[in-house]
Structures are given as C-alpha cells and as structure tokens.
Amino acid sequence: MNFAELIQIIKGLFTASGKTWTFIAERNYPWRDVLIYFTIPLFFLSSYAGIFNVSPELEHFNLPPNWMFMVIFSGTVLAIFMSSWMIAAMTPRFNGEKSFDKTFSLISFSYAPVLFASLISSIHSALQFINFVGLVYMIFLFWRGTGLVLKVPAHKQTGFSLISLLILFATRVVISAFLASIALVLTGNAEDILGQY
C-alpha cells in the first residue's frame, strides 16, 4: 500500500464504495500496512479532535487532555484489533472467508466516515449532527463490505453485520473504560470520581 492507493481508497469509499471494497479485497492488504498507512494516522488526528469532542462513554471522566488523547487513541486501535480477531473467528459460521487481514481492513476503512465526521464536528458544537451522519454511513459501508470483502452470502449479511458491529462497539466501550480507569488511577483523579458516588 502506498499513499496514492490510500487516497484512491478514501475517495472511493465516499464515491463508489462497491468498486472500492472489491479493490481492497483483491489487494488483500496485510494488516500492518493498513495500520501504518491508514489506521494510526487517521485515528491519531481523530483522537486529537476527540479531546475537544469527548465521546459519551468517557465524558464523566475528568482526565487531563493528554491522558484523554491516550485513552481515545489506544482504546480505539486496541478495539479494532480485538474485534477484528473476534469477527474473523466468527466469519466461517456465516459462510464467509476467515481472514484477519481482510477483517482488519474492513473495520479500519469502514471507520473513515466516523473519523472524518469527528474531525469536522470538533470545529464547532453546531456541527455535532455530522457525527450521526458519519456513524450511519459507517454502518452502511461495513454492511456493504461484508459481502464484497469477507464474501458473506447476501442472505446472512445483515445478521453478520449487526453482530459484528455490536462486537466492535462493545469492545471499544469496554477497552476505553478500562484504559480510562487506569488513567484515573495514574493521574490521581480516581478519588475525586469515587467521592461523587
């Protein structure tokens, strides 16, 4: 993978998602390439924007911005790894192709609308609705990609997508909460939070 292909993929996800998923499936990028060229840079920017636009599951934590950045960034990347492993293991039960690389690519590239939406919505609070639009388009992209990248049959695609997205979102919430609790202990803010309850 190079930056020219990456720009083509990102552009294609918003203009011709079917052709782009087919292109990604044919290329079968190793997860390391997707991580280095796409996941880390884009999630880094999105996590930085997340400092100003804290996700709902972390808003009650009173963390300094640098710790909040680490929680958001590490939590999201770790959640992609763990959910990719779980979803790849589940794929054969839905008559799909078991491939950690393709599953990692599917999840990472499906996140693109959410990441761009979080960057845009961090500009002003009036743009928060863009996060919802990004989430809806992410769900559509993921659903579309399950058939084209993982070869899940059309009649099982919706069920597979729903279960996979539940795994992805639950994993992200659990990992982010766990990392936030560690950050609270390390920063000395745990007593303040526990004193509120």
Tens digit of pLDDT for each residue in 72-89?
888 888 999 999 999 999
| pTM for the predicted model, two decimal places | 0.84
Burial class (CB in 10 A: 0-12, 13-18, 19+), 83: buried
CA distance 90 to 54: 31
Predicted confidence (pLDDT) per residue in 12-41, tens digit: 999 999 999 999 999 999 999 999 988 888
Q: How many domains does the chain have?
A: 1
pLDDT of residue 183: 82
Domain residues for the domain of 90 are 3-195
Q: How many CB atoms lie within 10 A of CB 129?
A: 10
Whose CA is closest to 108, among 39, 176, 49, 46?
A: 39
Predicted confidence (pLDDT) per residue in 161-177, tens digit: 999 999 999 999 999 88
CB 58 within 8 Å of CB 71: yes
Predicted confidence (pLDDT) per residue in 136-193, tens digit: 999 999 999 999 999 999 999 999 999 999 999 999 999 988 888 888 778 776 555 5
